[in-house]
Amino acid sequence: MYSSIIVAVDVAQIDRAESILLKASALSSPDGRITLVNVIEEVPGYLTIEIPDDLMMTARTDSETRLRALRDRVGVNAGIEIRNGSPAREILTAAEANNADLIIIASHKPDLSNYFIGATADRVVRHAKCSVLVDR
């Protein structure tokens, strides 16, 4: 059983998140903490002139709404963290900040550049200081 679990969620694939949140609940100790983490990638500076000013705030609000709905639908008591930046780096930072002993992350079907697992999942597995469960 794990005492602190980070569940990395891509809100664009929220249907995959339900199964990994259920796994986190099953693996969590009775007094364990589960934290849902979503990362909003920062927009490169050269593109910021082309996008609306409130895009990042809208993305943050949408992510939080979707994660709350997921948490309520599954019926799991979990905290929510929305972070900005590189997904792999922010997932790892959240794991360290929460003293996580497990990260659960879904992996999409890979292309040739990342054949075995997805790019973000690959980076998390390589650099995590705790156990990582990759869900396919």
The domain that holds 54 is classified in CATH as 3.40.50.620
pLDDT single digits (tens) 24-79: 999 999 999 999 999 998 766 665 556 666 777 898 999 999 999 999 999 999 99
| Residue 108 or 126, more confident | 126
Supply the DSSP string of 73-115, one letter for each residue. Answer: HHT---EEEEEES-HHHHHHHHHHHTT-SEEEEE-----GGG-
Please state the pTM of the whole predicted model.
0.88
Residue 87 domain boundaries = 2-135
Number of domains within the chain: 1
